[in-house]
Amino acid sequence: MLAPLAISPARVRSMSQLPAATDILIIGAGPTGLALATALRTAGATPLLIDKQAAGANTSRAAVIHARTLEVLEPLGLVPALLAAGLKVPLFTVREGGRVLASVPFDHLATAFPFTLMCPQDVTEAILLDRLTALGGAVVRPAEAVAVWPGPKGVQVDVVRDGAKATVAARWLVGCDGMHSAARDAAGVPFEGATYPEDFILADVRMDWPLSREEVTLFFSPAGFIMVAPLPEDRFRIVATTETAPAQPDAAFVQAMMDARSLGAGACRITETVWSSRFRIHHRVAATPRAGRILLCGDAAHVHSPAGGQGMNTGIQDAVSLADPLLAAVRTGDEAPLDAWAAARHRVAEGVVSITDKMTRVAAVTSPAARHMRNVALTLVGHIPAAREAIARTLAELDNR
Ligand SMILES: Cc1cc2nc3c(=O)[nH]c(=O)nc-3n(C[C@H](O)[C@H](O)[C@H](O)COP(=O)(O)OP(=O)(O)OC[C@H]3O[C@@H](n4cnc5c(N)ncnc54)[C@H](O)[C@@H]3O)c2cc1C
C-alpha cells in the first residue's frame, strides 16, 4: 500500500528530467495528453507528461476539429492558431453519384464556431505543444512507462529513459497512452468491443475536384462509401472501406476507388498522393475511465470508426473536462467531481461508439433493397430542418456540453 504523497515543486526538478514524485503523471503526449497538460498548466498545476516516442507523430490522421472541441480549447488560448492553420468547412453532404440525398449545414448552429475545421493531426499536435511550451510545460521524451503499480493513495510507475529505469510515484496517473494503454491494463479495466472486418483507407491527395471546397461529401455507392473532405493547402482527405488494400494506397488505387464510388469515372483527377495509410478499426469502450487513482482519456478509453471524425475530438474533450475535477482531488481531496466526470465521459464514449458504428454500417450497406430504403429515409430526413439541425449538433459534439 502506498503512503499519501506530499509533493513540493522543489522535488519536481526540471521538466526535462524525471522527478521521483509528482501529483499528476500523464502517460502519452498525443493530442489527448497534450490537451490535458495544457489545461492543467493553464490552471496553475505542473503535471509530468511523458511519451515513449522521441518526437511527436508527423502524420495527418484525424483531420476534423469539431465545434465543441474549439469551444473547450478556447479558454486555453488555442483557437486563434487552430483557425489560422485550418480550413473552415460549413457543409456536410451525403450524395449518391451526382444526386444529393441530404445536406447538413453547420452554419446555423448556436456556437461561436458554426463549421468543422479541417486541420491535419500533426498540425493540431504542434499547436498544442507550442501552447504547452509557452505555459512553461514540456514533454519528457523518450520516456516509456514499462510498469504501473496501482495503490489506494497513488500509483508507482517504472519509466525507462536514456536506457535507465527510474520509478516515479504519482498521486494520480492519467493514461492518455492510446489504444494499447498500459495504464488501462494495469488498472485491470476491460476494453470490450470488436474489430471491423474491412480495411479502412485514408489518403491525403491533391486533385482536380469539381465540388466546392466548403463541403465535406460522403458518397454512397453499390461498391461501398467514400468520403471526400477538403484540407488546407489545396489537399483533400479521402476515406473509404474496402475488403483489402495495400499498406500505402497509391494514386492509381485511390483514383480507381473515386471513379467507382464518387461522381463517376473521370470526374476527378488525382495528381499527387501526399500521405496514405490502410488500417483496421476497432470499436471498444473501457468499462470505466476511472479505476482508483488511474484515469483514462482518449483512445485509452474509447476507439471507434472514423465516421464523423469523432475520435481525437472526444479524447481532447475528455482531457480538458478532466482538469478541474482532477485539480479538486489534488488540492482538496474531494473525489466526487472525478466520479461525476467518469460517469459523464463514459456515457459520451458509449454514445460516440454507438453512433459511429451505426454510421459506418449504414454507409456500408450494399444490397439494392437496403440501399434504396436507406436513401429514401435519408432524403426524407434531409428535408426536415429540425432533423438536419439535430444531425449537425451531434456531429459537432455540441450535445456533449
Ligand atoms: C492511420 C490513422 C488514421 C486515423 N484517422 C482518424 C480520422 O480520420 N479521424 C479521427 O477522428 N481519428 C483518426 N484516427 C485516430 C486518432 O488519430 C486518435 O483518435 C488520436 O490520435 C487519439 O489521441 P490520443 O492522444 O488519445 O492517443 P494517441 O494519439 O495514440 O497517443 C498516445 C501517445 O501515448 C504514447 N505512449 C503509449 N504508450 C506509452 C508508454 N507506455 N509510455 C509512454 N508513452 C506511451 C504514444 O507514443 C503516443 O504518443 C486515426 C488514427 C490512425 C493511426
3-state SS, 34-64, equals HHHHHHHHHCCCCCEEECCCCCCCCCCCCCE
**Cα separation, 306 vs 79, whole angstroms:** 23
Residues lining ligand 1, CB < 6 A?
27-33, 50-53, 61-63, 121, 144-145, 176-178, 182, 202, 277, 279, 298-299, 306, 309-312, 315
| pTM of the full structure | 0.93
Query: What angle do helix axes 336-363 and 311-332 make, rounded to 10 degrees?
Result: 170
Residue whose CA is at the smallest distance from ligand 1 atom 13: 62
Domain layout of the chain by residue ranges: 9-62+120-190+287-363
Q: Which amino acid is at 34?
A: L
For the record, the C-alpha cell of 232 comes out as 488546407
Q: Residue 375, SS3? A: helix
Half-sphere exposure of 333 (CA within 13 A, CB side): 4
Chunk the chain into consecutive blocks of 10 residues (it has 401) and report each block's average pLDDT, rounded to whole numbers: 34 59 98 98 98 91 96 98 98 94 94 97 97 97 97 97 95 98 98 90 96 95 93 96 90 96 96 93 95 98 88 97 98 98 97 90 87 92 92 92 86
Place of cell 514540456: 138
Give the per-residue pLDDT at 84.
Answer: 98
Q: Which residues, including other chains, have CB under 8 Å from residue 73's CB and lie 6 or more apart?
A: 35, 79, 82, 316, 320
Three-state SS for 287-337 is CCCEECCEEECHHHCEECCCHHHCHHHHHHHHHHHHHHHHHHHHHHCCCHH
Question: By the 8 A CB rule, do 172 and 24 touch?
Answer: yes
Say how many Å lie between the CA of residue 299 and the centre of ligand 1: 6
Q: Which amino acid is at 62?
A: A
Give the per-residue pLDDT at 10.
Answer: 34
Give the per-residue pLDDT at 12.
Answer: 34
Give the per-residue pLDDT at 223.
Answer: 87
Question: By the 8 A CB rule, do 201 and 189 touch?
Answer: no
Residue to mutate, 18, 53, 121, 280, ligand 1, most ligand atoms under 8 Å from C-beta: 121
Residue whose CA is at the smallest distance from ligand 1 atom 46: 28
* H/E element, 186: helix 182-187
Beta bridge partners of 283: 194
Determine the atom of ligand 1 nearest the C-alpha atom of 34: 25
Q: Which amino acid is at 31?
A: P
CA 101 and chain centroid, separation: 28
First to last CA, the chain: 38
Determine the atom of ligand 1 nearest the C-alpha atom of 53: 47
**Runs of H (alpha helix) within 188-292:** 251-261
Give the per-residue pLDDT at 28.
Answer: 98
Per CATH, the number for 9-62+120-190+287-363 is 3.50.50.60
Q: What is the dihedral of CA 136, 142, 148, 152, to 10 degrees?
A: -10
Residue whose CA is at the smallest distance from ligand 1 atom 41: 145
Beta bridge partners of 199: 242
108-110-113 Cα angle (round to 5):
85
**Cα separation, 236 vs 77, whole angstroms:** 28
Residues in the chain: 401
